Structure 1
Amino acid sequence: MSTQQHIQEISASTGILVPPRTWRPATDYLHHLSLNGEWQFRLHPSAQIDESLPWETITLPCHWVFSSERDAQRHLLWTRGKPIYTNMQFPFALNPPHVPQNNPTGEHRRTFEVSAQVLQEIASGGRAIIRFLGAESIAQVRVNGVPVAILRGSRLMHEVDISSVIREGTNTISVIVSQWSAMSYVEDQDQWWLAGIFRDVDFYVERARSFRDVRVHGDYDPHTGACTLHIRVDCDDDGYTCRIGEREYVLRSGRWESVVVESALPWSPDAPHLYPITLTNAVDERTIRVGFRRVEVFHGDRPRILLNGKKLELRGVNRHETHPDKGRTFDPDQLRRDLTMMKRHNINAIRTAHYSHDPRFYDLADEFGFWVVCEVDLESHGFVFGDWVGNPTDSPQWRAVYEDRALRTVSRDYNHPSIIIWSLGNESGYGENLARSAALIRREDPSRPIHYEGDYDGRITDIHSRMYLPLEQIHAICSADGDVPISDVAVWGHVRQFPLINCEYAHAMGNGPGALIDYDECIDTYEQYHGGFVWEWRDHGLRTWDNGQEYFGYGGDFGERTHDSNFVMDGLVRSDDVPSPALAELKAVYAPVKLVARAEVGRLIVEVRNRFHAQRSSILTTRVYVGDTCLGVLEHDVAPGERETIVWENASVSPDVVIDLVSCRNEVAVPGNSWEEEGWEVSRVQIRPQVRPLSYPTDGSVTPASQPLVSFDGDRLSRILDLPVSDIRPSLWRAPTDNDESRGFGSFSLASPGNTWGAGLEGAPSSADVWRASGLDKMVCHEWQTDFSGDEYCGCFVREEVWASDQSPSRVNVAWHWEWGVFDDEPGVRLSVDVMPSAGWKGTWPRTGIHLAIPRPQHVSWLGYGPGEAYVDSRQAVTLGHFDADPQDLEFEYAVPQENGTRIGMRELTLNYDSYTVSLNAHPHISLPEYSDYYPSFSVHKYDEFELTAARHPYELATTEEFWHLYIDGGQHGLGSRTCGPDVYPRSAWTPRAVTITVDMKRG
């Protein structure tokens, strides 16, 4: 038996289908039976069903690759196929609607029992339904051998009416799912291709006269404060009762009814007030939570989006459904962890990339409080490689497919106040089918605006949306006098009449992104700019093993011939729920109450900017600290969207001390919200004294110490104080970050963003490729000379080196000045290193620093910026202070090993060992960056920069405890987001320059 005929058919779902409607928990229905659990299963290599294959079992919901056999250690053996990852390209030839003959097809079968009562309900006008929430990519459903439906749309809800084919007693359902179908051409969504029945399957009975569909819309009038419930109920009865609080209303079915709800409060992310309404008639009862809010979009001279009469500010993330062991199968615990972590990091908005999520996501978004852009299950990005020829978006043959997807999305999720914008899909070019979908959505729901990034001219959407828009173009669009390309004056003039969002920005792949604070400041600056959604929330790594070593795999790790490597590892959170340093940066940038402060003698002057949408700033308590001493509470009570300057007087305040302003939640916004708790830190702001850098290290008399301070091995230092050292060398290379390696967007080092509207030089090589071409990864010491005087108790050692690579005529002169003895009554060693590039170096450098191999410290403490890492364009989350950590906690393990763990502004670094301690005290120097207060940065690593560069996965790094690696850097290149976005901006770029690093080393 072959299923090929239906697989290559361009069609919406067909069969005995219930018309699209709002989602209702299956447990609400009579005779509910979950069909999750064990099914019979057999996997065919193609759509040709082989009846000779034996039946096995599978537990649904799941993607069948994750149901493979496991070895004795519970490691998946991938006996039921392997995952495939592509971003834009299809994993098969672009030839719609044809798909490969090698088309893995899963045959699922189980039985279920039907009672006489069920048949009686059907005879009385009810219906028996089986509901599928998700099956990829096409599902052919039979009940008792009778074909009842063909489901197309992997992330869409389908209800199949099986009333006419069931019988009392045992019934059999068969679902044949094929991995590839014509629908694969419009589900090319930058994620793993994973087939199977991966969402819930339920059987239930809908009684005659029950509520077939309920649509609710809670409207809030910001001018009067009135909350009005608009409701439409479809059922066979003429009327029904609606209970809201203590009041009941008798309303008519089949039409929209309106009820003013007294004393209700509006819904918003920081005050997500929900009100249960209960509908009853003779046979049914249904409770729905309603939130009251109004979305308004204005175009023309003052384009903007208002929510409840106030500017919408989206400080959001894109979120795929992805789990390292389950793929897109819903995990309620993971969802709650995700949304809790988002709230605790000041995220207020989510775009459901690039499909409607499991219905329970929206319930929790309503409860927790998120603005949601709900996206239709649609993307045909792979057609871009053929210049969009044959793209389904503009083909009449595909019109019903597009309209069905739009209708099912809006119908299922209509009732959620968290959804404020409908998105037509993602990266599918432009065409008439999208215009038809937009018109359909407006008919279904005129209360919400429509988004689609590819509608650059604003023909069918309400919002001008862009991806990875450079800062220069935001300024150009939002500034009335902004400079624009002459050839695009008319287009830009039209664009300036629309509200602007970045539906994707700040690509969080590997170490990065940079410049988050610059984008956020645009929200505060421009009324027209409403923020956007960082790409993206979570890495998509899948747990797998190599010779028993666990790791999270990405494209190519499962034997795919066509793949897009680690482009799927681009989240703020790792695959295993560990937050990246970028998430801490985002929390600081997204702070809902922003404090801009300065210190004078005896007082603080603080501007309080309240960026909450509905809460007054007094929901936070801000305490003022000098060190660990709390000086008191900075009182503020600023209305949402407003700012106020406060003068706070205290005798201990001075511009010469470090002052921390720590804001914590002092009350919950909505009682009962599970994510909220009093006392958690929302933001931290620091006021620091100005550092006065030195142009050279201070001089002083040196006298002999009472015990040896250094040891040599030939002309190389082998011990400093009690610390064995080796491989003392300059470090000009860093293990390239994903952004360093990317060439997808233009280079700012080869063309100024200011002169190219943020585009840079398009098609330019990556920063890492430029660095390699200059030989920075292959520098060796070609010449050196040394000069030694004194002995191990008091002396001086100078080593002058010339470093070069055979790939570049340019040189780097490095002068090491070691001096040891008693300085200021304390024995120690002073190192001053001068790094001086010769003429001829161009572009940027990864870093300028020094490297020492040292034994692994038991513990590390430092005075500098922390507790986390920081770089020139990503340093909002760190403050100046005393910190300590286990060495392994100073590193962050990315899916692809790369530069990480740098801490800036190092004043003092202490390496603690069992029997001794060594402290390094740094000198500020005018040659060091202002962003680090003219102090060097440091990092401690298990692997050096070359080992990290060579590895593609963490497990490839050889374990060694003999030596670790200490780096002290004069400066490093910024991070940027060039993997998919702007390069490192020139102000954050590190260029070849003379640098002096000076540290004093002493015993602890």
Structure 2
Amino acid sequence: MKEYHQQSKTVGAEAPRAYFVPFRQGQARSERREDSQLFHSLCGNWKIRAYESLLDAENFLKDDPSEDIPVPSCVQYFGYDHFQYSCDRYPFMFDPPRVPLRNPVFHYMRTFDAKSCAEGKRTYIVFEGVDSCFYLYVNKQFAGFSQITHKTSEFDITDFVHESGNRLDVLVLKWCFGSYLECQDKWRFTGIIRDVYLLSRDQKHITDYKIDTDCKGNVATVTFANRSPVSAIVSFHEQTALADSGASVQFTVQDARLWSAESPYLYPMEISCGDEIIFERVGIRTSEVKNGIFLVNGKPIKLRGVNRHDFHPDRGAAVSEEDMRQDVLLMKQLNVNAVRTSHYPASPLFYRLCDEYGLYVMSESDVESHGVGRIGDFGMTYEQRMERMASNPVFCDSVVERQITNVEQNKNHPCVLIWSLGNEAGWGKNFYFALSEVKRRDQRPVHYEGLFRINTTHYGFEEYYRVPLDMVSRMYPPVEWMDNDYRNDAKETRPLVLCEYEHAMGNGPGAFKEYWDVIESSDRFMGAFVWEWCDHGIRYHSDGFLYGDDFHETWQDGNFCIDGLVLPDRTLKPGALQMKKIYQPAVFRKHGRTLHIFNKYYFISLDATIFAEFSDHSIQEFRVQIPPRSSSALELEKNGSVRLRVRESGKQYDCANESFYEEKFLPSQCLNAQCSVQESSRYLKISEADCVYTIDKVCGEIISVCVAGKELGGIRLNLWRAPTDNDRIEKEAWKTVFLDKAVCDMTEYSIDKNRVRVHLKIGHYNSMLPLAEAKVTYRFLRSGVQIDEEYQITSGYFRWLPRIGWKMRLNRNFTQLKYLAYGPYESYEDMHDFCEMGEYTNQVQNEMVHFIKPQECGSHCGAKYAQITDGQITIRAEGMRSFSALPYDERTLADTLHDSDLRENDATYFNVDYYMSGLGSESCGPRVRPEYCVPFAGKGTIVFFWMKNDSDH
């Protein structure tokens, strides 16, 4: 067997073409390819056998596989090979272009009938995706070879088949030549991962065509270019024309309805030849960059986007049409209007769904060589290492071929606005050829972030500006770079898109609003794509998901694959709700009883019902039709606080919400207590009525609060939180100074009537300098204690502190929570726009946010008060900026690897904070913005009240 997998060639396959499935003449129009009499699915049960190496598979055609496997699927889910997640490393020895012999092989086999033979038709077999390459045998005869995992490979197998009893053997290899260009941030799955089917075709038939649209005013032109060796009859918009082979025909549409994500109108088109008819859908729209501005249908739209991999927790990369539909519909509900197909072309069915439901698509070619930056050649800069592949002539044809397949497969989809040359593969000669080839084939704008990694030592600084890419692209830049460096770069004339931003790993991301304040400020900012859509967790029981570290590979990238806006089962995380809020199509302002609403849509009116709920729970409804990019004013019936919900006509979900909280909060009255103080060598015991407090003179903290004979626990200083994934950089500094183990050391104290003042130094007994100093005054009240603190961070080991406040470990019976803060979801200083200020009640156990890897969660910023009760005693806290009440403490959350590993606890943990730092997105982006960090010096007052439930406070 010739080892084509060691080369860049594809053997025996048809040239890439536009996606379509022909129907038989006389069939009713259908959007389901399964309804075509010329389509025969080969999905379903196949047989499989695994080999460790191709050397072991020498006689595979004589060894019939006997084990069952569904197609499409990933073999790792069926006990073959192993699960491996790698972000940016090659999972094999980097020795291009050689492919290692230690390379798992999977022999698939099934039988099929080809009734097309009896009809005198040609038989084609289509593979929509195989990872990473495959050898095709029909009736034990070699029929072809293909690589490029996410391309459609089509073979004419007419000469190999007979009417019934055909045998199909497919030999799939885990690695191939092309794997050097597919080092993408994902699970390294293997197998026939997308649909396989047969097409019965006339002997002479339509092979390819291109549809282009243009619009001048209200008049649109649709051009059909016939790239087939036969003529075709094209019917469109009550017009019919004959398109000869190699010729084009044009259709004119008066008062055309343009396609957009806001109004995805599709015109039907029928293309006929012989016994075949193709049901096509045409979206009339334009996509261009003009005068440095990205325009769709002439409007400077914003791309409110997400990055999306193919992933399902039970099937990996083998996602079904219904999986894709679920994603598209959920994106629409979250106000997403754009998708980047990271980092390869999606299934043909995904593009059809985007056409139908309305999502703009940046279609990315299957090119990434990120691992070159990790190969260990440390005598070179990162840019120089990346250029090794980007300019390597051995890979040039393959890089270009991957552009061709992306463009040719997806060229007729109106949803595709932008072509992307790939991801994180550096810049070099191969990409000059790639860019030229894309522009030769299509006029849509072209994107590639890798130009940013140009080797200026080789090309010079000015070349960055000369390369004819249509836009500037960046990943995770600070907002300040956008607002200052990019905006003020006199040499830069291209618009800016963030192909990745707001790394949605774990809790977060923060600072959505800050990005969009800048993006909305100028037409030069195109928009941005959140990284990424869903967590890539492998389901291992009903509520548990696994990530890289769970599979004990030599190298795994941990839980870095758990970085989505939604959980693997598409449960929304708080970050998804924050994104929905920032992406919403309506902006509200309120002045007295006048409500101003701005419609952010570019093409459609905001046709909606607005529900205004007042503080007395009465509701006022408005029906509005606000033209695009226009405002409307409404008069509310009442003054004061109001919550707004916007539901567009015909939709079952709210597209926007807003709240205006105008209630005045009156703090509880603090009455000084008549106290008695008992002092021993170690403790201060302060008694007030039926409240007894114990202060430990070693640490200076209240270690015991006893109310009516009931022990509540202590009030301890807290500077640490269970690190979020976005804390992954800063947590190392916290670890260095043992922040999680920091203790207080009291250096002096004084007693004055109902006050005890203490001076604390905070740190760890491990030869480290103190982290902070604090002056704390405990003022004992009637049924309460007021804690005034003035602190100063004295350590320079870290850039910012996670929190500063007080915590109580309470009996587990404290389960009922009531608060006035941003809710009902968790909220942080840089992620709370989706929440509403108000009064809420909840069970403590429901305050947990179940991230796959436990971490800080459940806090509420903007807090005015929070109270928690066990039914007998209520504890109320006021004066803090943030609080949380959870069934687990920070240490448990930090030490537990999976949410499903958390076990029922025997306590409730009540945290009240002077300051809680924001979340940021530093798992792969900017740090927490300084204005959302705990100040290095500050002061605050928190008051705790203890109320027996037969009394009123």
Query: Which bin holds the TM-score, normalised by the shorter protein?
Result: 0.7 to 0.9
Tell me which residue corresponds to 1:812.
773
8 Å CA contact retained: 2:648, 2:654: no
Matching of residue 59 in structure 1 with residue 84 in structure 2: no
8 Å CA contact retained: 2:770, 2:794: no
Matching of residue 568 in structure 1 with residue 561 in structure 2: yes
Q: 1:433 to 1:26 in 2, by over 3 A?
A: farther
1: CA distance, partners of 2:583 / 2:319 = 28
Tell me which residue corresponds to 2:282.
290
Query: CA offset at residue 690 of structure 1?
Result: 8.8
* 3-state SS of 2:571 partner: coil
8 Å CA contact retained: 1:26, 1:202: no
Question: For structure 1, which segment, 963-972 or 394-403, has the greater mean C-alpha deviation from structure 2 after superposition?
Answer: 394-403
Q: 1:54 to 1:288 in 2, by over 3 A?
A: closer
Tell me which residue corresponds to 1:43.
50
Tell me which residue corresponds to 1:667.
649
Tell me which residue corresponds to 2:301.
312
Query: CA offset at residue 938 of structure 1?
Result: 1.2
Letter of the structure 2 residue corresponding to residue 850 of structure 1? W
Tell me which residue corresponds to 2:251.
259
Query: CA offset at residue 80 of structure 1?
Result: 1.2
Query: CA offset at residue 366 of structure 1?
Result: 1.1
2: CA distance, partners of 1:183 / 1:252 = 37
1: CA distance, partners of 2:710 / 2:205 = 79
Q: 1:718 to 1:391 in 2, by over 3 A?
A: same
Query: CA offset at residue 917 of structure 1?
Result: 5.4
Query: CA offset at residue 900 of structure 1?
Result: 1.0
Tell me which residue corresponds to 2:916.
972
Letter of the structure 2 residue corresponding to residue 101 of structure 1? L
8 Å CA contact retained: 1:317, 1:534: yes
* 3-state SS of 1:725 partner: strand
Instruction: Kindly report the root-mean-square deviation, in angstroms, between the aligned alpha carbons of the 2 structures.
Output: 3.0
Tell me which residue corresponds to 1:439.
436
* 3-state SS of 1:220 partner: strand
Matching of residue 498 in structure 1 with residue 494 in structure 2: yes
Tell me which residue corresponds to 2:380.
none
8 Å CA contact retained: 1:796, 1:820: no
Letter of the structure 2 residue corresponding to residue 366 of structure 1? D
Runs of 5+ unmatched residues, structure 2? 22-31, 378-383, 453-463, 677-686, 697-701
Question: For structure 1, which segment, 319-328 or 632-641, has the greater mean C-alpha deviation from structure 2 after superposition?
Answer: 632-641
2: CA distance, partners of 1:371 / 1:616 = 19
Q: 1:99-132, CA deviations, whole angstroms, 9 ceiling, x for partnerless residues? A: 33221110111111234xx22444xxx4211100
Query: CA offset at residue 984 of structure 1?
Result: 1.3
1: CA distance, partners of 2:860 / 2:13 = 62
Letter of the structure 1 residue corresponding to residue 764 of structure 2? S
1: CA distance, partners of 2:96 / 2:486 = 41
2: CA distance, partners of 1:433 / 1:28 = 42
2: CA distance, partners of 1:954 / 1:374 = 35
Tell me which residue corresponds to 2:822.
865
TM-score normalised by structure 2 residue count: 0.88
8 Å CA contact retained: 1:943, 1:964: yes
Q: 1:624-654, CA deviations, whole angstroms, 9 ceiling, x for partnerless residues? A: 3321444645676543234x473x555732x
Q: 1:965 to 1:398 in 2, by over 3 A?
A: same
Q: 1:429-476, CA deviations, whole angstroms, 9 ceiling, x for partnerless residues? A: 112222222222222222x11111112425131111111122122112
Q: 1:22 to 1:876 in 2, by over 3 A?
A: same
Tell me which residue corresponds to 1:613.
602
Q: How does 1:601-680 map to 2 (within 5 A)?
A: 603-604=593-594, 606=596, 608-617=597-606, 619-630=607-618, 632-633=620-621, 637-642=625-630, 644=631, 646=633, 648-649=634-635, 652-653=638-639, 657-660=640-643, 662-668=644-650, 676-677=651-652, 680=653
Query: CA offset at residue 884 of structure 1?
Result: 2.2
Q: State which of 258, 261, 275 in structure 1 corresponds to 2:267.
A: 275
Q: State which of 866, 871, 874 in structure 2 corresponds to 1:918.
A: 874
Matching of residue 166 in structure 1 with residue 152 in structure 2: no
8 Å CA contact retained: 2:209, 2:224: yes
Tell me which residue corresponds to 1:757.
none
Tell me which residue corresponds to 2:721.
734
1: CA distance, partners of 2:922 / 2:262 = 33
Tell me which residue corresponds to 1:449.
445
Q: How does 1:463-474 map to 2 (within 5 A)?
A: 463-474=471-482
Tell me which residue corresponds to 2:744.
781
Q: 1:527 to 1:713 in 2, by over 3 A?
A: closer
Q: How does 1:21-420 map to 2 (within 5 A)?
A: 21-24=18-21, 27=34, 30-50=37-57, 51=59, 55-68=65-78, 79-115=79-115, 118-122=116-120, 126-221=121-216, 224-235=217-228, 237-244=230-237, 246-299=238-291, 303-385=292-374, 386=377, 387-388=384-385, 391-420=388-417
Q: 1:743-777, CA deviations, whole angstroms, 9 ceiling, x for partnerless residues? A: xxxxxxxxxxxxxxxxxxxxxxxx22222333322
Q: 1:896-922, CA deviations, whole angstroms, 9 ceiling, x for partnerless residues? A: 221111111223324344x43515151
Query: CA offset at residue 810 of structure 1?
Result: 4.3
Query: CA offset at residue 191 of structure 1?
Result: 0.4
8 Å CA contact retained: 2:335, 2:584: yes
Q: 1:628 to 1:248 in 2, by over 3 A?
A: farther
Q: 1:869-925, CA deviations, whole angstroms, 9 ceiling, x for partnerless residues? A: 111111211111122223222111223221111111223324344x435151514xx
Tell me which residue corresponds to 2:806.
850
Q: State which of 942, 949, 960 in structure 1 corresponds to 2:887.
A: 942
Q: State which of 422, 427, 444 in structure 2 corresponds to 1:425.
A: 422
Tell me which residue corresponds to 2:6.
8
Q: 1:12 to 1:612 in 2, by over 3 A?
A: farther
Letter of the structure 2 residue corresponding to residue 604 of structure 1? T
Q: 1:296 to 1:67 in 2, by over 3 A?
A: closer
Tell me which residue corresponds to 2:866.
909
Q: 1:467 to 1:693 in 2, by over 3 A?
A: farther
Q: Aligned residue pairs: how many?
A: 896
* 3-state SS of 2:551 partner: coil
1: CA distance, partners of 2:232 / 2:533 = 45
Letter of the structure 1 residue corresponding to residue 930 of structure 2? P
Query: CA offset at residue 59 of structure 1?
Result: 2.7
Q: 1:235-284, CA deviations, whole angstroms, 9 ceiling, x for partnerless residues? A: 5553414143x554454453221111244311111111112222334411
Query: CA offset at residue 518 of structure 1?
Result: 0.9
Q: 1:210-239, CA deviations, whole angstroms, 9 ceiling, x for partnerless residues? A: 332233233333xx1123222123455534
Q: 1:121-173, CA deviations, whole angstroms, 9 ceiling, x for partnerless residues? A: 44xxx421110011111101111121111111000000011111112331111
8 Å CA contact retained: 1:219, 1:228: yes
Letter of the structure 1 residue corresponding to residue 93 of structure 2? A
Letter of the structure 2 residue corresponding to residue 684 of structure 1? N
Q: 1:111 to 1:295 in 2, by over 3 A?
A: same
Tell me which residue corresponds to 1:751.
none
Letter of the structure 1 residue corresponding to residue 510 of structure 2? G
* 3-state SS of 2:860 partner: coil
Q: 1:114 to 1:339 in 2, by over 3 A?
A: closer
Runs of 5+ unmatched residues, structure 1? 69-78, 483-491, 669-675, 743-766, 822-827, 924-934
Query: CA offset at residue 586 of structure 1?
Result: 0.8
Query: CA offset at residue 784 of structure 1?
Result: 7.8
Letter of the structure 1 residue corresponding to residue 402 of structure 2? R
Letter of the structure 2 residue corresponding to residue 7 of structure 1? H
2: CA distance, partners of 1:840 / 1:410 = 55
Q: 1:976 to 1:685 in 2, by over 3 A?
A: same
Query: CA offset at residue 739 of structure 1?
Result: 1.8
Percentage identity across paired residues of the two chains: 28
Q: 1:784 to 1:272 in 2, by over 3 A?
A: same
1: CA distance, partners of 2:595 / 2:900 = 51
